[in-house]
């Protein structure tokens, strides 16, 4: 009996010692339930291949992610790995939260990155890579083929023959009078103002119209965001809302492919395609974003993976990220979810985006019209100020006053931080 008890204690001690010897990697992420389950499955496969490592996933809701990250900073509980929205990278690096990632990621993954993927993970000051992802992103103009044919609309074949502003607004007016159409367009106001949607999707409307959120050489917003071109562009969008052409925020985010197809067009993300195609089959038409001024413009940048400066095991963290980006089941899920390729090998396995594929226009935008959000440490203020202004404008506020107030708020933050040196010294 005594020998048996001793054996059990020894076994218990051995197991305890084994558990303590494991390295724990904390991974903070967001995502819908499908992606969350996929991350969990990848973690299990990594742990099976690396029995001395535990992957602890920390979920944060998409629309509260930055607040939860700030709480982790305040409590000095940064994870080893964090998912981050690409336009916030400059702020995180400037603040000292992220470390260069090149020495930690498998070379074949680095060699596989598309140019836009490299761009979204690169800090402008030192030109070093701080984050990597399987994917990138874009927004396109979806159309209901039946409705477009009913009003005789021209359907663009590619980015170079995108609708002009005059064509686009003419079609909105015709669609507003067509039987079966409740709203001519869904601009996904349902995403609200707590996500990046407004800046991500509507910023290119300004850039296409000939202005921007901020001057990218002087890093001043007054005179740019409240310029005549930006005021005209936002007044245009306000008119769409006033005319009742836009799906209201209270009606959710799926009115394009909802029962009865009440919205004729949708200015939607690439991730929208899978659900739309499943509901509407061949009636889904994918078109480039319209040209609202002198040039075409479209967004890019998505959620990517970085390793924090707080990580005590950055080599293992890099090993997990490399494992995840090469994991076949992970890629299969991403492909089936119409994920936008950020690795060349993933693009080759995504016929959706190949020439002739139903989303080829979205991939064409990446090389012809994509404009990154301002890569500046003040970006959190830039985006929150712009989103507040858009919300005020869509609710009937004065366009010029709202944009001027936002521009002044942005400039004040940059001034209060002395231009965010050494960022302001970059050529």
pLDDT tens digits, 19-34: 457 999 999 999 999 9
DSSP state of 246: B
Q: CB count, 10 Å around CB of 44?
A: 11
Lowest mean pLDDT among 59-68, 80-89, 216-225, 403-412: 59-68
DSSP state of 14: H
Give the pLDDT of residue 50. 98
Predicted confidence (pLDDT) per residue in 133-147, tens digit: 999 999 999 999 999
Tokens found for residue 405: 């107030």
Give the pLDDT of residue 67. 87
* Residue in the structure block whose two tokens are 């020998």: 3
**CB neighbour list of residue 223: distance below 8 Å, 6 or more residues apart:** 215, 407
Give the pLDDT of residue 66. 86
Nearest to 62 by CA among 186, 192, 152: 192
Question: What's this model's pTM, rounded to 2 decimal places?
Answer: 0.89
| pLDDT above 70: residue 62 | yes
Tokens found for residue 248: 């209201």
Give the pLDDT of residue 195. 85
* Residue in the structure block whose two tokens are 């899920």: 333
Chain-centroid distance of CA 203 in Å reads 13
How many Å from the N-terminal Cα to the C-terminal Cα in the chain?
Answer: 78
Strands (E), 168-283: 183-186, 263-269
Give whole-number Cα distances, 403 to 229, 309, 381, in Å.
12, 37, 14
Q: How confident is the model at residue 11 (pLDDT cuts 50, 70, 90)?
A: very low
Lowest mean pLDDT among 68-72, 170-174, 380-384, 392-396: 68-72
Predicted confidence (pLDDT) per residue in 94-133, tens digit: 999 999 999 999 999 999 999 889 999 999 999 999 999 9
Q: In the chain, pLDDT over 70 holds for what percent of residues? A: 95
Tokens found for residue 371: 């404009």
Predicted confidence (pLDDT) per residue in 344-365, tens digit: 999 989 989 988 899 999 999 9
| pLDDT above 90: residue 159 | yes
**Mean pLDDT in residue range 383-402:** 97
Tokens found for residue 36: 């969350």
| pLDDT above 70: residue 412 | yes
**Mean pLDDT in residue range 152-156:** 98
Strand pairing category for 263-269 and 340-341: unpaired
Give the pLDDT of residue 179. 97
DSSP H or E stretch at residue 275: helix 273-280
Strand pairing category for 81-85 and 23-29: parallel
Lowest mean pLDDT among 141-155, 235-249, 356-370: 356-370
Nearest to 388 by CA among 374, 404, 412: 404
Question: Rounded to the nearest 5 degrees, what angle is found at the Cα of 46, between the Cα atoms of 341 and 320?
Answer: 55
Collapsing DSSP to helix, strand or coil, 342 comes out as coil
Collapsing DSSP to helix, strand or coil, 413 comes out as helix
| pLDDT above 90: residue 78 | yes
Task: Report the length, in residues, of the chain.
Answer: 427
Predicted confidence (pLDDT) per residue in 247-281, tens digit: 999 998 889 999 999 999 999 999 989 999 999 99
Collapsing DSSP to helix, strand or coil, 289 comes out as coil
């Amino acid at each position: 009996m005594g020998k048996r008890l001793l054996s059990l204690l020894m076994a218990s001690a051995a197991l305890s010692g084994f558990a303590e010897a494991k390295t724990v990697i904390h991974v903070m992420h967001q995502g819908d339930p499908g992606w969350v389950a996929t991350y969990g499955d990848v973690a299990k496969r990594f742990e099976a291949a690396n029995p001395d490592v535990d992957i602890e996933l920390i979920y944060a809701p998409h629309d509260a992610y930055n607040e939860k990250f700030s709480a982790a900073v305040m409590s000095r509980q940064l994870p080893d790995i964090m998912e981050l929205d690409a336009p916030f990278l400059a702020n995180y690096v400037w603040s000292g939260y992220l470390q260069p990632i090149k020495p930690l990621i498998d070379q074949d993954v680095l060699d596989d990155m598309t140019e836009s993927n490299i761009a979204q993970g690169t800090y402008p000051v030192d030109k070093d890579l701080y984050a990597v992802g399987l994917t990138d992103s874009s927004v396109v103009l979806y159309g209901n083929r039946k409705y477009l044919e009913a009003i005789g609309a021209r359907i663009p074949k590619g980015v170079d023959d995108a609708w002009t502003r005059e064509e686009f607004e003419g079609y909105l007016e015709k669609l507003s009078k067509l039987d079966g159409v409740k709203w001519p367009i869904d601009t996904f106001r349902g995403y609200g103002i707590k996500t990046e949607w407004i800046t991500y999707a509507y910023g290119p409307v300004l850039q296409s119209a000939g202005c921007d959120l901020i001057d990218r050489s002087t890093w001043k917003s007054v005179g740019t965001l409240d310029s005549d071109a930006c005021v005209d562009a936002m007044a245009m969008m306000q008119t769409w809302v006033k005319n009742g052409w836009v799906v209201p925020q209270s009606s959710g985010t799926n009115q394009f492919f909802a029962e009865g197809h009440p919205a004729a067009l949708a200015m939607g993300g690439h991730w929208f395609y899978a659900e739309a195609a499943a509901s509407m089959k061949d009636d889904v038409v994918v078109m480039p974003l319209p040209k609202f001024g002198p040039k075409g413009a479209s967004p890019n940048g998505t959620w990517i993976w970085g390793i924090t400066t707080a990580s005590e095991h950055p080599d293992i963290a890099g090993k997990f990220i490399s494992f995840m980006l090469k994991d076949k089941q992970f890629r299969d899920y991403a492909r089936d979810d119409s994920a936008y390729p950020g690795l060349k090998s993933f693009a080759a396995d995504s016929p959706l985006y190949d020439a002739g594929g139903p989303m080829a226009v979205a991939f064409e935008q990446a090389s012809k019209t994509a404009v990154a959000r301002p890569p500046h440490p003040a970006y959190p203020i830039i985006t929150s100020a712009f989103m507040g202004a858009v919300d005020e404008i869509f609710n009937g506020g004065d366009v010029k006053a709202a944009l001027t107030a936002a521009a002044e708020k942005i400039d004040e933050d940059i001034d209060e931080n002395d231009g965010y040196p050494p960022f302001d010294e970059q050529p």
